[in-house]
Structure 1
Amino acid sequence: MQELINTTLYILDTFGIPLDATPRRLERMAIAFLASGDIKKIADFKKTKDLNSGYALKTRDIIIYLNKHFGENISSGSYDDIRRKDLKLLTVAEVVLQSSPNSATNDSTRGYSINPTYAELLRSFGSKGWEKMVSEKLKNIEPLSKKLKREREIAKVNVTLPSGGVLTFSAGEHNDLQKAIIEDFLPRYGHGAEVLYVGDTSDKYLYLENEKLEELNFFEISHEELPDVIAYSKKRNWLYLIEAVHSSGPISELRLIQLQKLTKDCKADIVFVTAFLNRQKFRQFMTEIAWETEVWIADNPDHLVHFNGDKFLGPYKE
């Protein structure tokens, strides 16, 4: 059984189906695919059924098939899971076809069966040069894995550093704000600052100038208390610790105390900044902002909100 599932996943990978789900989800996708072609063992690949042969299983029939032939214990009420989860990638890629594609989403008569193009390849599985055969047969079909990868790349956010270098962030409002901090805040208020650290929501250490931070006697970079953006102005000897606030994490009194303790040996003077995308988000967190820190709002980039003190912008000393 495991050999059959592993073989099926190898075949689906060759067909261009992305395999970046959990092992259990991949297993469920594999056996739903096998049910769609009436395949119970590896030898059955040679007699795969497809839509042209009139074979199609409704989602409830697939559940019965999986329980009977694959030792599953899936509830009959889970038919929606079959359609939305187990068959989703396969139908989007059109490796599995719907017997009545124009029917309503909840049409109980709609069945699922393997696309005849892919069924033909399955029936020749194991023959010499099979992968080359697949490549030739599917050369005009863009693999779903490639489509999804391209969409993810399109969705990413490019950020230009003050030095002219370019970073690529994953999409999202938090990273949109970090982009604004680097491209709009620092050129206005950074006094020639260069970015020494910035994290992405999907990569904590997207950009890191560890040696330069060590020269400033900054705290251990692996520490969980890192702010979102760190930049250094050599001209002023200011180190900017900037929090990009989307859903949480402004520089509160407690956060300020933590950062002050962590940077007590730093050779640069510290500027604490909390950044927001808009005034509405600022108002949401305004009562939490610590005194003697700065606030910058991305949709009003030419203004700062200064929380007390004898300077408009700058580090505070005892």
Structure 2
Amino acid sequence: MNGADRVAEARTLLTSLGFDAERSNERSALILLVLLGVTPQAPWSSARNPRLRTVEIMEHIRAQYGVDYKPNTRETVRRRTLHQFAEVMLIEQNPDDPGRPVNSPKWCYQVTDRALAVIRAYGTPDFDNELTEYLADLPGLSQRYAAARELERIPVTTLNGTALTLSPGGQNVLIKQIVEDFGAYFLPGGQVFYLGDADAKWSVWEQGALAGLGVTVDVHGKMPDVIVYMPDRNWLVLMEAASSHGPVDAKRHGELQTLFAGSTAGLVYVSCFPSRAEMRKYLHEIAWETEVWCADDPTHLIHFNGERFLGPYQ
């Protein structure tokens, strides 16, 4: 069997498992195949479930199927396929170390044993029965998974003392540090107008308050991760959690200026990193006239030039 035929089979399998068009496209099929260790010549009964990092998944796709995904598509692989596979327990994230930091290079994925048993029967007379039982069990499996994720949620206390929780995925550990640590040291009296969550984009969204400052948010626009309003200074502090998406570079600076063009409050741009070691990877990209904060040294800021320090520019 050639690679194209195997990919076509994988796409049909994903559709049978209930995935939508994007999670049944060629990219998603290739991701599933390498997570199962199934090559074009290997039968489905030989499927296994090695633990693989995103970069390893892309390398195996290249080596086994001749499809070369560029490094800048890594985020698409994660956000448009792997995250959805994990949500329905087709795969697990970090089964060897569930508490692994989001920015760890060891972050990995593995097909669940329950899903593997079904997939090994694909193409045999037993598959339909196996699939029916699996899909019948899935709501219960998903409920247990959701309950476990709820227990793992990250508690956050906002600047005014409001308690909320964030999902355990993505960069929410850093977002908690931004709100609680950066906020305490540099934004006393501030009001959280927006707080993103890896699972829920609009975890906190004070739409009316932003509108009162002349900001009409385009829901399709790429929001900063945290927005805090400083009423005593009339500042909107726009903070990016740069652990996975990078800092406020020149391009992002321009995007934010456009998104908040109507603001009657001054705009302050802050790139937030988990550590100075992580910041060094992006040092050459950080835009001038912005600020940098590192969670491992929370009482200090790094100022990138300009006549102001932690303030808006006209």
**TM tier, smaller:** 0.5 to 0.7
Alpha-carbon distance between aligned partners in 1 of 2:274 and 2:230, rounded to the nearest angstrom: 24
- Aligned-pair Cα RMSD in Å: 3.6
Residue of 251, 265, 281 corresponding to 1:284: 281
Correspondent of 2:44 among 75, 78, 98: 78
- Residues 159 and 188 of structure 2 are in contact (CA less than 8 Å); yes or no, is this contact kept in structure 1? no
| Aligned mates of 2:183, 2:49 — CA distance in 1 | 49
1:185 aligns with 2:182: yes
Query: Residue 280 of structure 2 aligns to which amino acid in structure 1?
Result: R
- The whole-number CA distance in structure 2 between the counterparts of 1:241 and 1:264 is 13
Q: Which runs of 5+ in 1 are unaligned?
A: 1-20, 28-74, 97-113, 115-121, 123-142
* 1:42-97 Cα deviation digits (max 9, x unpaired): xxxxxxxxxxxxxxxxxxxxxxxxxxxxxxxxx982114499979933899xxx9x
> Are 1:162 and 2:159 an aligned pair?
yes
* 8 Å CA contact 1:159, 1:167 repeated in 2: yes
Trace 1:1-318 onto structure 2 (pairs within 5 A): 24-25=16-17, 77-81=43-47, 88-89=113-114, 144-172=141-169, 174-317=171-314
Q: In the alignment, residue 165 of structure 1 is paired with which amino acid?
A: T
How many angstroms apart in 2 are the aligned matches of 1:262 and 1:224? 7
**Taking structure 1 as the reference length, what is the TM-score of the superposition?**
0.57
Aligned pair count reads 209
- The 2-side partners of 1:289 and 1:87 are apart by 40
Structure 2 length-normalised TM: 0.58
**Counterpart amino acid of residue 77 in structure 1:** P
Cα distance in 2, alignment partners of residues 261 and 91 from structure 1 = 47
User: Is the CA contact (8 Å cut-off) linking 2:273 and 2:279 kept in structure 1?
Assistant: yes
Tell me by how many angstroms 1:187 deviates: 1.5
Q: Does the 8 A contact of 2:196 with 2:203 survive in 1?
A: yes
One-letter code of the match for 1:170?
S
Name stretches of at least 5 consecutive residues in structure 2 with no aligned partner: 1-12, 20-40, 51-89, 91-110, 119-128, 134-139
The structure with the largest alpha-carbon Rg is 1
**Residue of structure 1 equivalent to 2:94:** none
* Distance of 1:200 and 1:310 partners within structure 2: 34
